[in-house]
Structure 1
Amino acid sequence: MSASEMTPISPARMGMRPMIWTKGDWNALFGFGTNILVNMLVLTGLLQFVLKMPPEIVFGRILPAVGLMMFLSTAYYAFLAWQLAKKTGREDVCALPSGISVPHMFVVTFVIMLPIGASTGDPVQGWEAGLVWVFFQSFILMIGGFVAPYIRRITPRAALLGTLAGVSVAFISMRPAFEIFTTPVIGLTCLAIILASWFGGVRYPKGIPAGLIAIAVGMIIAWGSNLFGLGYGGMSLEKLGASVANFGFEIPMPAIDHVFHGFKYLGVILVTAIPFGIYDLVEAMDNVESAEAAGDHYPTTRVLTADGVVSLIGCLMGNPFINAVYIGHPGWKSMGGRIGYSLATGVAVILLAWCGIIAVLLALIPVVAISPILLYIGMLIGAQAFQTTPIKHAPAIVLALTPHLAAWAKLLIDNSLAVAGTSAHALGMEKLGAVGVLYHGLEIMGGGAILVGLVLGAIGVFVIERKFTHAAAFALAGAVLTFFGFMHGEMVGIAVTPGVSLAYLVVAGFLFGCAKYAAVDTVDEAPMMEGAHPAPAE
């Protein structure tokens, strides 16, 4: 039950006209806006420097379409928040954050667009394949929106939030943390500014948002260090001057012909489109659950359908990146975000994308000044899984974290070996195992991590609750998903990892046997460490 459902609402306040903008929206705008800015800067860098996409495609076609899609998304979620505030009479309703799906951004770049662009010698064909990938993802989201609410009802909150915490710790928190300590003069200073305000309640002069102060201080240190030849943050006047060449005004144009040209790569695309469509469903459910835990209840079907529709519109206008509800709603809400921050972010994105400002910002702001904001969000979401679920479910949350740590570690190993011109399989599992790197275990456990975390977390919760039949059902679901490659595998297929699938079947049988025949201890507390004193059973 959400906080809004537990708190009685005065009939006089129900149906009121909600405020579109509050003081707290400034904090959330600069926090969420800088998060979006970082993602757009990374996206632009991938298009320019990895995919070698022509500037006329990057700044004339893709970024304008990205801007349109993100404006539609943020405006819609601001409208949903306005409706919820009006219906409940509450003033603390916070809009769901949304934008480019970051995991998908890397997957479509490195798994679809880069290989096809490299094999054909034409990055435009890679772009067209990316458009088809999003085309299919959009329909998976729209159809899945009608299934997701049922999945959400039968899945424990600890499993949903636990796997979300895994994404938060591994893929949101770690990179910003490394960036902070790579350039600590900027990173740690900006982190202190953020933590003092958003955790410590410190108010800065004239109510200036902490996110804006952190960015300003980071820029001052970065550019000021150039005067002394230190070069913190990698800023240079040459890069800034060259970026101005991309100024201009570009609006999105239909790219339907490019979408259909990309259908010749359909076989390659579906291998990742289907499992990542399921990833989207689970991720969106997790993030809606996260928002409800923070007091704001949004209908899962409308959220997923909206993501699918705006992604499809973006795709048909030339955007090869899918839209998603973001992790982080409790973070923006805790810093005062309500309705206006979402809509204002959408307007800002349109201006950035349609006017060619992204390239200038890429050369003006040190990314390390923005990293503490992302780390803060990661900290908050990781903590929420433990704070909003029963304390006895904590072991299940930790279990749900582990697949994401495996996926993160595998990614680091793969990227490191690729730079060296080799791979884990070329080196051999025995050599890696001899130095403590159990690569095959990382590969199996990290495949489809978000689903693996959800299934393992749910099994853990139901075992703790002595609901062994429910636990057996999730183990059986894990067996089916694994057999077809949605979990513990790198691709969709038949009998992708049959040994793991069989293991889940054995676990399901064992748990079902526990439900029917096992004698169960009636003490609610989990077994304690040696030397501890358990409370007597009541």
Structure 2
Amino acid sequence: MIMKKRSLPLFRSGDIGGMAYALAGNIVNYIIIIGVLLYVFEWPEYLVFGRVIPGMSIGLMGSGIYYAWMANRLAKKEGRSDVTALPSGVSTPAMFVYLWGVIAPLNYAIDKPEDVWMVAVAATFLGGVIEALGSFVGPWLRKFLPRAALLGTVGGIALVWMANKGFYDVYADPILGMPILLIAIIGLIGGYVFPKKIPALLIAIVGGIGYAFVLGRVTPDVSGFGFTLTNPVTGINAIMTGLASISPYLAVIIPIQIYNFIETMDNVESAIAAGDRYSVREAQIADGAMTMLSAVFGGVVPNTVWLGHPGLKKGNAGSGYSWISGLILGAAGIFGAYAFVNSLMPPVIAAITFIWCSIVIIVQAFREAAPLKHGAAIVVAFIPHIADYVYTEIELTLFSQGVYEITPEVTSALLGEGVMWSGVMELKYGAILTSMLWAAITAFIIDKRLDKAGYVSLAASVLALVGFIHTPSLGLTVNPFFYGYLIMGIMCILFSALKNNFKSPDGYDYV
């Protein structure tokens, strides 16, 4: 039987919800970046709107078009018309790390914003290289690690970065947010069918925008239009200059880009679980290439495959949302229209899509875990991400008060006020790796493979030794975490050798 090749339509109704997700989510990130660079770091407008924003937009446009093309290739290969393109955009966790871990210390050490920008684009370009190189490790990790480790990590990120942010935005504007959220839950989770079968997400988004106009929450702003695009020669020269000053920040750049390529791997794994069998390696190389492209044109944060593919697939999105969103984001950045686009889309609209997609991802993590008893491993995977979130929020709070370093005195003061702080810093560093490691250890123990749990523990000890987890900087350091994981590994391997005298009964259920 010959499989009939199918092409995805350029656009279908489900792409409207996908466009809202891609546009709203990226616009919110742009608002954060613009606010921090302009009003916290006091960068001049020509740098922010003339280089950073257009550069980021070029990267996003390239990603949107590429992933739409990738979806069409998969549809033709498998003879299907229900393929959904991978969502992509600015990596929110990486964005915060780049802003506060790379640009902030540079900004306070160097008087000239132009010089800071040069190091920032160099850091972004190098990050793209690392992300692309990670493609050679990602597929192997996906085969070796239990699905609970991969999906649990995605679920943890969805919980702390998407669901939290979504509900916070809803409660920041309850009169607008709560009714829209109710519509989304009624239709998307409750399964109720609206008149003429209009998609619930479309009603929530379009109706929400109209409702926002009625409430006066949005005011169209047409100022700032005009063509702006960094000469790539200028960008390349900036990268070459910035690389000379980048070494002190490698300890931040390398771990966050490892985070990023594993995030891409996890999110592609989520898409595979939803039925679209994309190449993990290709997606990672594409992310790295688009991040490098963004840097050449002035961008200062990396791109990544986003969470949310299962929710978009459930909403019948195809490839149209990806390439159209990419073109809109690119044109908006190049022609200075981000302020106008944002004026039509209050943050609470993005919040609805965040909440919906995060719910789907978290539920999928438990449903798709094979076997279902790996649910404990998924829960364990959530915890490092919670620590990451807590640390980031407290750190930003301290920054807002002029405290830019968490010294022993600051730690003592936090503990003295009853803040749950002991161990948070250590668990935060390398959270995504720690999440995967502990989920894998737990899953292997559940599967009665103590030997594999031991091997993962030994791998964790090496990662702790070189500074990839639990410490703020890279470097060979014999620390308590190295010993802790080493002891764990030895214990698991010894227990495995005693399997005739030390075993778990068949059918054991921990619940």
- TM-score w.r.t. the length of structure 2 is 0.93
SS at match of 2:503: coil
Quickly say closer, same or farther: Cα 1:418–1:36, change in 2 above 3 A: closer
Contact 1:71/1:346 (8 A) holds in 2: yes
Matches within 5 A, 1:76-87: 76-87=66-77
Q: Deviations over 1:356-379 (max 9, x none)?
A: 111123344321232121121122
- Is the aligned partner of 1:92 residue 2:82? yes
Aligned mates of 1:17, 1:170 — CA distance in 2: 37
SS at match of 1:248: coil
Select 1:357's aligned residue among 329, 337, 340: 337
SS at match of 1:324: strand
Contact 1:98/1:323 (8 A) holds in 2: yes
Structure 2 unaligned blocks of 5 or more: none
Quickly say closer, same or farther: Cα 1:245–1:416, change in 2 above 3 A: same
- Is the aligned partner of 1:525 residue 2:495? no
Q: Could you tell me how far 1:246 is from its partner in structure 2?
A: 0.6
Quickly say closer, same or farther: Cα 1:432–1:379, change in 2 above 3 A: same
- Matched residue, 2:380: 399
Contact 1:113/1:123 (8 A) holds in 2: no
Select 1:40's aligned residue among 25, 30, 48: 30
- Matched residue, 2:318: 338
Q: Deviations over 1:296-317 (max 9, x none)?
A: 1111211111111121122112
**Range that drifts further, 410-419 or 61-70:** 410-419
- Matched residue, 1:325: 305
Select 1:483's aligned residue among 465, 478, 483: 465
Quickly say closer, same or farther: Cα 1:434–1:460, change in 2 above 3 A: same
Aligned mates of 1:310, 1:130 — CA distance in 2: 16
Select 1:154's aligned residue among 125, 138, 144: 144
Q: Could you tell me how far 1:461 is from its partner in structure 2?
A: 0.3
Aligned mates of 2:198, 2:49 — CA distance in 1: 32
- Matched residue, 2:104: 114
Aligned mates of 2:196, 2:367 — CA distance in 1: 33
- Matched residue, 1:230: none
Q: Deviations over 1:414-433 (max 9, x none)?
A: 23334344576465555544
**Range that drifts further, 104-113 or 455-464:** 104-113
Q: Could you tell me how far 1:288 is from its partner in structure 2?
A: 1.4
Quickly say closer, same or farther: Cα 1:361–1:74, change in 2 above 3 A: closer
Select 1:189's aligned residue among 179, 182, 188: 179
One-letter identity of the residue aligned with 1:280: N
**Range that drifts further, 102-111 or 498-507:** 102-111
Select 1:171's aligned residue among 161, 172, 187: 161
Quickly say closer, same or farther: Cα 1:58–1:206, change in 2 above 3 A: farther
Quickly say closer, same or farther: Cα 1:395–1:334, change in 2 above 3 A: same
- Matched residue, 1:7: none
Quickly say closer, same or farther: Cα 1:428–1:308, change in 2 above 3 A: closer
- Is the aligned partner of 1:31 residue 2:21? yes
**Range that drifts further, 380-389 or 59-68:** 59-68
SS at match of 2:304: strand
Aligned mates of 1:94, 1:141 — CA distance in 2: 23
Aligned mates of 1:49, 1:188 — CA distance in 2: 30
Quickly say closer, same or farther: Cα 1:59–1:211, change in 2 above 3 A: farther
Q: Deviations over 1:192-238 (max 9, x none)?
A: 12222322344556665544543444445545445xxxxxx5x5x6x
Select 1:72's aligned residue among 62, 71, 74: 62
Q: Could you tell me how far 1:54 is from its partner in structure 2?
A: 2.0
Contact 1:478/1:504 (8 A) holds in 2: yes
Aligned mates of 2:414, 2:99 — CA distance in 1: 28
Q: Could you tell me how far 1:439 is from its partner in structure 2?
A: 1.4
Aligned length: 505
Contact 1:481/1:487 (8 A) holds in 2: yes
Q: Deviations over 1:152-208 (max 9, x none)?
A: 110010001111111111111112211211221111112112222322344556665
Quickly say closer, same or farther: Cα 1:365–1:341, change in 2 above 3 A: closer
Select 2:222's aligned residue among 228, 244, 248: 244
Q: Could you tell me how far 1:355 is from its partner in structure 2?
A: 1.9
Quickly say closer, same or farther: Cα 1:212–1:45, change in 2 above 3 A: farther
Select 1:59's aligned residue among 49, 58, 64: 49
- Is the aligned partner of 1:412 residue 2:397? no
- Matched residue, 1:50: 40
Matches within 5 A, 1:270-285: 270-285=250-265
- Matched residue, 2:246: 266
- Is the aligned partner of 1:376 residue 2:356? yes
- Matched residue, 1:3: none
One-letter identity of the residue aligned with 1:88: E
Aligned mates of 2:29, 2:207 — CA distance in 1: 21
Select 2:267's aligned residue among 263, 277, 287: 287
- Matched residue, 2:190: 200
**Range that drifts further, 368-377 or 385-394:** 368-377
Aligned mates of 1:33, 1:364 — CA distance in 2: 11
Select 1:474's aligned residue among 450, 456, 472: 456
- Matched residue, 2:436: 454
Contact 2:229/2:297 (8 A) holds in 1: no
Contact 1:117/1:125 (8 A) holds in 2: no
Aligned mates of 1:19, 1:373 — CA distance in 2: 23
Aligned mates of 2:362, 2:254 — CA distance in 1: 27
One-letter identity of the residue aligned with 1:245: S
Aligned mates of 1:80, 1:441 — CA distance in 2: 42
CA RMSD between the two structures: 2.2
Contact 1:215/1:365 (8 A) holds in 2: no
SS at match of 2:12: coil
**Range that drifts further, 33-42 or 177-186:** 33-42
Aligned mates of 1:211, 1:503 — CA distance in 2: 48
- Matched residue, 1:6: none
Q: Could you tell me how far 1:449 is from its partner in structure 2?
A: 0.5
Aligned mates of 1:421, 1:27 — CA distance in 2: 41
Quickly say closer, same or farther: Cα 1:332–1:62, change in 2 above 3 A: same
- Is the aligned partner of 1:22 residue 2:12? yes
- TM-score w.r.t. the length of structure 1 is 0.88
One-letter identity of the residue aligned with 2:227: F
Structure 1 unaligned blocks of 5 or more: 1-10, 227-232, 529-538
